[in-house]
Structure 1
């Protein structure tokens, strides 16, 4: 009698669990991206009353005699079948027409997978998120040529043309040559410092790798970050540049940034990313072009620097002598030097003089120019006077003959300063021919999603209709597939997480490697079949009821046994 009671109890428990599964399915009949489940029963164990025997020549065999001890819920299986789509007329609603899952990441860095594609753009970070605020993963920026990824999708929508403001600050600059492996030709590089209220992953400074071969780098500085010193700020900027360059550092002296504010020190407590833009920046060392009228010669300062950030050598005097600078490359056991060439034209006679300034001669006030080729009687050379303050200025230089008479004016002309425009809450540092200028602006920054039309293509590419630039691609939603999607674990909010039985996520672009294409302005509905659930509910109810009857009958029989003796 006791066996039937406990068997019936196990049956009631199993059917109760099955009813719980059915109830959860019906409750989520209108949950987007929901996948239904089913209960699976199995018997438990048996008591063997008689073992099976084999037959003989005179007698046949007998089967085993066993009594079972009820049932159990062996497992709950997911139904990953695709469901119908519901049109929403909302461009950021996306459904997957096939296999695959969206990748999302919570604030702790945990990655989940979902079929619910109700997306939105976070107004604070500019990241693409789902309805629960989890960041959608894929590729940021122009996705052309980029492998499928699991990075936060930051929609950096370029601003419209910025208007100039009145306030202007001049900061010395140097003409650079881009030496990244990605560069195709020499180029003038602009380094732009732009303040962002929030950067991806809370970074202090970010440089996009897509800009490494464009001749213009934008360093986004977190407005909320506090930098304790100049080296702290510039270390993080240089780290961002290195990361954008594929982890490869720039060759020494090619793109190293330093900053020199008034007095050379940050105020107590440090400066925020927004405040550092009021400081002057210099770039050292680098290649500076100082050319004459024919613009034929390039010069390099190397490690010979001006003593202050307010000036580099300026050459203003006019005359009939062209004075050029040329770089002398340093070997392993020599120092870099500045080679000076003066060409004197007088009375139709052209004479060329050559001299050098060693990098350590920062306070020299003259340099010996020897004529090249040397003419008889003039091998002693000529002196050129240099009026400067540690290589901060050089002007009105004169060449003198042996008698001390003036024979001409040495001049060096430059192309002046270059000007760039930035937004009111950002500053751009454009590296120009001789100097560069910071200007404020009234527009700039980034446009919000409400100012542009955002659409998601079938291959996952996020496209915006920019008012100035037309249609541009600013990101891509990549999908994840699994060898055994039935092995995923549900964690709520229509999320699944990877398990040992599901296998690792395989990333792919939508519509490739067996994954489905994306359909915008639609959401995948729940795959719960109400008619099947009601049928299962009736069967489960009757199963529970039948097991309860076993308990009733067993109780009645026990009562009869008790009443045998009165």
Structure 2
């Protein structure tokens, strides 16, 4: 029945325009949402009932146009307006806005899921990770230190500042070489025989003149005896490498030995001669009077010319995404670099709430779904990063209010269509009375 089709068209219009009003209302509600992208509903006619089909012209007549009656309206789709919103200063260095194309990539540390976002409301957490409001960690190149540039894909994190304690070993060893006093225990003196001759004998009273024999013992060279010097020896210890053994020796000292001998007068016997036997002189050597003193060996710590660990005073993020750390001693280090990801079809991204998007494969992620070194900001078609600022919502309230008025009037007209259809049906029912 034709009136049933009219009622159906009115109902489909009410249903479709309701969705349109929902989209408009959602845009207005997110007018202050960071980096929010407005949506727009589009509509299409529904299936049409064909009363007469079209036909081409022929030799006997002109072409024939089609006669069709529509069955209402349907929601064709909801598209997203990805134009960039205005940028507003926030005053926080970790608030980041993208001027141009690209999305920040964040990862849920709990399940490892990865999302794209334009909302750069980040902060450094208690572990030094750069995270968003949900605690998802910003991704990029890490591992930079000194002259080494960041090169490892991972979570953006400030360099660790763990304190390293230095201490000396609790024991030490001093090697003392055995010292022996070497000398000959006994020396044998050779027997020296001297002949005594008689001089000037007279027939008269005979007298014997004994010429004194001067005998002298030739002293043999004594062995050189080394002895440690008395007193304490100063040890100058310098560490060349770990486990190095440093030995200290006192200077070699020499000692001189003096051997004393004595001479004696010997009388001749009755025969006028005397065998002179010189008994060897024994010299006893003793080390009882040699004293050896040992002192305690001590090791003193040398002053190490090591720099005092410097505390990080601040950090900044430049337009290329480099995280530069500043230290109290005046040094700097580029520890990380944020990366951006762009997509061929942004409308294929799935909104996950909290300003997050998924569906990288469907959207055609450029350079692959994962981050690479080609995803650096400010190059390759990607935008640059502005620190201390946030991208605002791109909702235009004036346009949204105009769209809302249009949608409301369309809904009102559709409701009238239902009312009119109901009135006509009521009149038809009353015809039998």
Shorter-normalised TM-score: what interval?
Answer: 0.5 to 0.7
Deviation of the 1:62 alpha carbon = 1.8
**Counterparts of 1:28 and 1:445 in 2: how far apart (Å)?**
47
**Counterparts of 1:480 and 1:318 in 2: how far apart (Å)?**
72
Deviation of the 1:315 alpha carbon = 8.8
**Counterparts of 2:9 and 2:310 in 1: how far apart (Å)?**
68
Deviation of the 1:417 alpha carbon = 5.5
1:453, 1:465 within 8 Å by CA — same for their partners in 2?
yes
Superposition TM-score, scaled by structure 2 size? 0.65
- 1:383 is matched with which residue? none
**Counterparts of 2:69 and 2:309 in 1: how far apart (Å)?**
77
Cα deviations across residues 453-477 of structure 1 (Å, max 9, x unaligned)?
1111111011121102522212111
Cα deviations across residues 361-417 of structure 1 (Å, max 9, x unaligned)?
xxxxxxxxxxxxxxxxxxxxxxxxxxxxxxxxxxxxxxxxxxxxxxxxxxxxxx875
Is 1:491 equivalent to 2:358 in the alignment? no
- 1:558 is matched with which residue? 425
- 2:242 is matched with which residue? 432
- 2:72 is matched with which residue? 70
**Counterparts of 1:44 and 1:483 in 2: how far apart (Å)?**
30
Q: How does 1:207-246 map to 2 (within 5 A)?
A: none
**Counterparts of 2:80 and 2:139 in 1: how far apart (Å)?**
25
Aligned length: 309
Selected match of 1:57 from 56, 59, 77: 59
1:148, 1:509 within 8 Å by CA — same for their partners in 2?
no
2:35, 2:392 within 8 Å by CA — same for their partners in 1?
yes
**Counterparts of 1:518 and 1:69 in 2: how far apart (Å)?**
51
Superposition TM-score, scaled by structure 1 size? 0.50
Cα deviations across residues 116-172 of structure 1 (Å, max 9, x unaligned)?
11111111x221111221101112231877687641112115468x776xxx4649x
Cα deviations across residues 474-511 of structure 1 (Å, max 9, x unaligned)?
21111111122222111110111124430135341110
CA 498–434 in structure 1, closer or farther in 2 if over 3 Å, else same: farther
CA 56–453 in structure 1, closer or farther in 2 if over 3 Å, else same: same
Selected match of 2:341 from 480, 484, 497: 480
1:416, 1:433 within 8 Å by CA — same for their partners in 2?
no
**Counterparts of 1:137 and 1:2 in 2: how far apart (Å)?**
58
**Counterparts of 2:149 and 2:410 in 1: how far apart (Å)?**
56
Is 1:112 equivalent to 2:123 in the alignment? no
- The DSSP-based 3-state class of the residue aligned with 1:35 is coil
**Counterparts of 1:558 and 1:481 in 2: how far apart (Å)?**
56
CA 105–445 in structure 1, closer or farther in 2 if over 3 Å, else same: farther
Deviation of the 1:82 alpha carbon = 0.5
- The DSSP-based 3-state class of the residue aligned with 1:518 is strand
**Counterparts of 1:460 and 1:45 in 2: how far apart (Å)?**
52
1:96, 1:517 within 8 Å by CA — same for their partners in 2?
yes
1:140, 1:152 within 8 Å by CA — same for their partners in 2?
yes
Q: How does 1:360-439 map to 2 (within 5 A)?
A: 432=242, 434=244
- 1:252 is matched with which residue? none
- The DSSP-based 3-state class of the residue aligned with 1:25 is helix
Is 1:467 equivalent to 2:277 in the alignment? no
Deviation of the 1:112 alpha carbon = 0.5
Gaps of 5+ in 2: 179-236, 246-300, 302-306
CA 558–145 in structure 1, closer or farther in 2 if over 3 Å, else same: farther
Gaps of 5+ in 1: 172-309, 320-414, 419-430, 438-442
Deviant stretches of 4+, over 3 Å:
143-150, 157-160, 168-171, 314-319, 415-418, 431-435, 443-447
Deviation of the 1:434 alpha carbon = 4.3
CA 417–462 in structure 1, closer or farther in 2 if over 3 Å, else same: same
**Counterparts of 1:51 and 1:479 in 2: how far apart (Å)?**
54
CA 147–468 in structure 1, closer or farther in 2 if over 3 Å, else same: closer
- 1:93 is matched with which residue? 95
CA 29–99 in structure 1, closer or farther in 2 if over 3 Å, else same: same
Cα deviations across residues 243-267 of structure 1 (Å, max 9, x unaligned)?
xxxxxxxxxxxxxxxxxxxxxxxxx
**Counterparts of 1:559 and 1:55 in 2: how far apart (Å)?**
44
**Counterparts of 1:14 and 1:489 in 2: how far apart (Å)?**
22
- The DSSP-based 3-state class of the residue aligned with 1:563 is helix
Is 1:529 equivalent to 2:412 in the alignment? no
Is 1:32 equivalent to 2:29 in the alignment? no
1:416, 1:434 within 8 Å by CA — same for their partners in 2?
no
**Counterparts of 1:462 and 1:501 in 2: how far apart (Å)?**
31
Q: Which has the larger radius of gyration?
A: 2
**Counterparts of 2:71 and 2:409 in 1: how far apart (Å)?**
20
Deviation of the 1:565 alpha carbon = 1.3
**Counterparts of 1:102 and 1:502 in 2: how far apart (Å)?**
15
**Counterparts of 1:444 and 1:487 in 2: how far apart (Å)?**
54
- 1:548 is matched with which residue? 415
**Counterparts of 2:309 and 2:353 in 1: how far apart (Å)?**
38
CA 562–479 in structure 1, closer or farther in 2 if over 3 Å, else same: same
Is 1:510 equivalent to 2:320 in the alignment? no
Aligned alpha-carbon RMSD (Å)? 3.2
